[in-house]
Amino acid sequence: MAFLDFVVALVVRGGTVYDVRRKRRRFVVRFRKGNAEFMSQFLIHGGKPLRGEITASGNKNAALPMVAAALLTDQEVILENVPSILDVQCMLDILEHLGASVSVEGSEVRICAAQVRDPEIPYSLCERVRSSFLFAAPLLHRTGRAHLHPPGGDQIGRRRLDAHYYGLRGLGAEVEVGSFEFQLQGRFKAATLFFDEASVTATEHVLLAAVVADGETTLLNAASEPHVQDLARMLVSMGAKIEGLGSNTLVIEGVESLQGTRHRLVSDHIEVGSYLALAAATGGELTVHGTSRGHYWMINRVFERLGVQLDLYSDRICLPGNQTPRIIMDEGRVTPTVDDGPWPQFPSDMMSPLLVLATQAEGSVLFFEKMFESRMYFVDPLIQMGANVIVCDPHRVLVTGKTGLRGQTVRSPDIRAGMALLIAALCAKGRPSVVQNAQILDRGYENLEEKLTGLGADILRE
């Protein structure tokens, strides 16, 4: 009875209990009040090789803009293979606030936005997820107005919205930057636009406007990541006319309206890469099913640079066991560099997990994070765990391995750094590690504990 009283007290104080489960003779309650969550940390006994098989989840960064795209039509949109993660739930909450009906059954999500209420998204919803900003274009198409607030998301450095404003203004919208107010008279008007950076979310956002614009729009220096291509394929299935998929130039012939559709999301190459790094760092072996080989060419090259072999097949990736990671020097015995860039270059989201793998490889390698000036800050707790890492500047760190990591209490600053620290904890020996702020990983990784436990990890959420 005391346990039930405790749960009731949390709800009375203004929160929501959204998960209750029993683990090892104790109840674990996940409680949210606003954007805060409690009882969210992992207790990890590391030092064990992880082995087994998993199936890749649906792509997080495809699901988020697709949920916003469902607002472009008043007909039903059915999305398959949608990951069950917090960021997706936040986007669905926004849709429901705007008047759409939403139903979720397993990994299938049904959305019908036949009616749209007052096109204002409150601060409490906008701050929960960065992709909340993607609702501006669909709201302008449906109602001619949108009122948003600053979007949330990971604090990994400056994340400009300039390309969004540039694109929406170029297509005829009126934008009040300070108040996040948007107005549109009639339809969007086609234009030729050149992005000063190949921004993924800006490309997706402007694409949502261009497909219903009057005339032919050309997007130059557009992002071409797998999730951007998948969003475009979904829009084409809704009746959009888009050419240039997979390239940095998109040509869109606008249509007056879009129809409903059923679309299956591609798998998440960042999630897959994270688990491959995890298995390699712990000295294990792994098979990941449900992958697309073309999404992993550059990721595979970086694993090769760290002396790790991957076997790429059309529908799966295998990491063989009994490997000893070893940094492969560049010609002339020069220290190699791992750097990120727009697709098809190495994804920025993979920098943190691969950096931890490098601590378990023999040799030295320089990691050069070009896109976000705060992403590398997570190396401080990694050094505390025993990693040999020299911070050159906010963008560059030199990693020398192999080093033995020891259990520590650390805190997840963002989704990918959280996964990196989780990998480090699973490598660490000695006392158990505690990874605090664990709920942040639920924003990007589906069924995390279940997948890790299935691979042999000793992990408990408290």
Q: What confidence tens digit (pLDDT) does each residue in 122-169 have?
A: 999 999 998 999 999 999 999 999 999 988 755 544 568 999 999 999
Domain final residue, candidates 264, 281, 303: 264
Alpha helices in 37-135 (DSSP H): 60-69, 86-97, 123-126
Asked whether residue 27 is assigned to any structural domain, the reply reads no
Domain final residue, candidates 228, 248, 264: 264
pLDDT at 154: 53
Kind plus residue range of the DSSP H or E element containing 144: none
Report the catalytic residues.
154
Asked whether residue 11 is assigned to any structural domain, the reply reads no
Mean residue pLDDT across the chain: 91
User: What percent of the chain is predicted at pLDDT more than 70?
Assistant: 90
For the CA atoms of 287, 289, 293, 295, the dihedral, rounded to the nearest 10 degrees, stands at -100
Q: What angle do CA 326, 327, 328 make, to 5 degrees?
A: 110
Domain final residue, candidates 206, 232, 264: 264
Q: Which residue has the higher pLDDT, 37 or 372?
A: 372
Q: 239 and 291 in one domain?
A: no
Average pLDDT over residues 335-362: 96
Asked whether residue 411 is assigned to any structural domain, the reply reads yes
Distance between CA atoms of residues 185 and 406, nearest Å: 60
Asked whether residue 2 is assigned to any structural domain, the reply reads no
For the chain, the domain total comes to 2
Burial class (CB in 10 A: 0-12, 13-18, 19+), 24: exposed
Q: 212 and 127 in one domain?
A: yes
Q: 313 and 250 in one domain?
A: no
Distance between CA atoms of residues 406 and 168, nearest Å: 50
Cβ–Cβ under 8 Å, residues 347 and 228: no
Q: 348 and 243 in one domain?
A: no
Distance between CA atoms of residues 351 and 372, nearest Å: 11
Distance between CA atoms of residues 262 and 59, nearest Å: 16
Average pLDDT over residues 399-422: 95
Asked whether residue 10 is assigned to any structural domain, the reply reads no
Q: 254 and 286 in one domain?
A: no
Sheet with 181-183, edge to edge strand ranges: 145-147, 181-183, 174-176
Distance between CA atoms of residues 183 and 317, nearest Å: 47
Alpha helices in 385-444 (DSSP H): 415-427
Return contacts of 368-373, CB within 8 angstroms, 24+ apart: 368/337, 368/338, 368/339, 368/340, 368/395, 368/396, 369/339, 369/340, 369/395, 369/396, 370/339, 370/340, 370/341, 370/395, 371/157, 371/340, 371/341, 372/156, 372/157, 372/158, 372/159, 372/348, 373/157, 373/158
Q: 311 and 226 in one domain?
A: no
Looking up residue 395, the CATH number of its domain turns out to be 3.65.10.10
Average pLDDT over residues 13-17: 45
Q: 272 and 228 in one domain?
A: no
pLDDT in tens, 28-60: 444 444 444 455 899 999 999 999 999 999 999
Burial 64-76 (b: 16+ CB within 10 A, else e): bbbbbbbbbbbbb
Q: 198 and 294 in one domain?
A: no
Boundaries of domain holding 125: 60-264
**Other CB atoms within 10 A of residue 167 CB:** 26
Asked whether residue 283 is assigned to any structural domain, the reply reads yes
Q: 296 and 153 in one domain?
A: no
Backbone angles phi, psi at 198, to 5 degrees: -80, 65
Q: What residues pair up with 186 in beta bridges, in sequence order?
A: none
pLDDT at 26 over 90: no
Asked whether residue 17 is assigned to any structural domain, the reply reads no
Cβ–Cβ under 8 Å, residues 396 and 415: no
Q: 339 and 238 in one domain?
A: no
Asked whether residue 340 is assigned to any structural domain, the reply reads yes
Q: 299 and 182 in one domain?
A: no
Q: What residues pair up with 148 in beta bridges, in sequence order?
A: none
Q: 45 and 123 in one domain?
A: no
